[in-house]
Chain A
Amino acid sequence: MHEADQIARAAAGDERAQAALVNTHMPRVYAVAKRMLKDAVEAEDVTQEAFIRAWKALPDWEPRAKFSTWLHRVTLNLCYDRLRRKREQTGADELPERVDPGLRPDEAFDQAQKVQAIEIAIDDLPERQKAALTLCSLQGLGNKEAAEVMEVSVEALESLLSRARRKLKYVLKPEGV
């Protein structure tokens, strides 16, 4: 079924079309929210909120962008809002970037430790770098679509991605340099 047809049916209350939209997009939306917020409950709230906004938007939906792009953008903006509120509550201007010294790579690092170290390093990335990395490297979006989601140019996205990858590669360097 074409996406526009599916959206029109979902807007009209067709339960099968609605279920198809949820099954297609919800796991990825949740994964992005979980990666950004590092909290399962908050990620669930954001996913539900993103779909509530989608249900409201569907009747007037105009296919200027792909539904997945629009939904990812809403999700990301909801995540930014929550992260901003958290920062205001804690008084921190920006979460500090750090690489856990306890997980500094060395010769003895096995694969599981590398995965764990990269998880921590991703969590510590600045928001926009984390978003770029999550969308492109983890969710498999193309640079163009990820740039649309983040409402930046492709060049800006590539710059964010490059900086994120540089920090992650640092974690993998055996000499830690």
Chain B
Amino acid sequence: MPEDKLDIELDAVLARLPETDPPVGLAERILADAPRPPRKTLIEGLRSAIFPSGRRWPAAGALASLSVGMMAGYAVAQDTSLPVDADSIVYAALGLDADRFELEYDG
């Protein structure tokens, strides 16, 4: 048989060699040895939530400003000791003495 025909036949036989399938579960066993991500502390977790991939999250500044504003607003509201009702504000705005007006109105 000519050499080139033998080459063709050899390639054909090599192509027919049975495939070697890896055993079941081998991939899982290999993956069980794979490196695990390092455990994060609470601060690192918070930082990665706010700054994912180490980059500054664009909304982080807005969120921080909102938080500071709300805290300040809450603190100021807590300092208010005088009871203020809506009517007295309206009377004061109209230049009326709210207490006296109420007395007169009540008769």
* A interface residues (Cβ-Cβ under 8 A, vs B): 10-15, 18-19, 22-23, 26-27, 30-31, 34-35, 40, 44, 47-48, 51-52, 55, 58-59, 111, 114-115, 118-119, 137-138, 165, 168-169, 172-174
Contacts and interface: CB of A to CB of B under 8 A. Distances in A.
Dominant SS at the A interface?
helix
Given A13-B37, A58-B35, A111-B16, A47 B26 contact: yes
Nearest to B21: A27
B35 A13 contact: yes
Contact of B20 (A12, A13, A31): A31
Contacts of A114: 13
Given A55-B35, A58-B35, A137-B14, A169 B6 contact: yes
A173 B11 CA distance: 14
Contacts of A58: 35
A51 B9 contact: no
A165 B3 CA distance: 11
Query: Which 9 A-B pairs rank lowest in CB-CB distance, beginning with the nearest?
Result: A13-B37, A30-B22, A31-B20, A169-B6, A51-B30, A18-B34, A34-B20, A118-B13, A13-B36
Nearest to B34: A18
8 contacts: A18-B31, A26-B22, A26-B26, A44-B23, A47-B30, A138-B14, A169-B7, A173-B6
A27 B35 contact: no
Given A12-B37, A47-B22, 11 more contacts: A13-B38, A19-B27, A26-B30, A31-B20, A35-B20, A40-B23, A44-B26, A111-B13, A115-B17, A138-B14, A173-B6
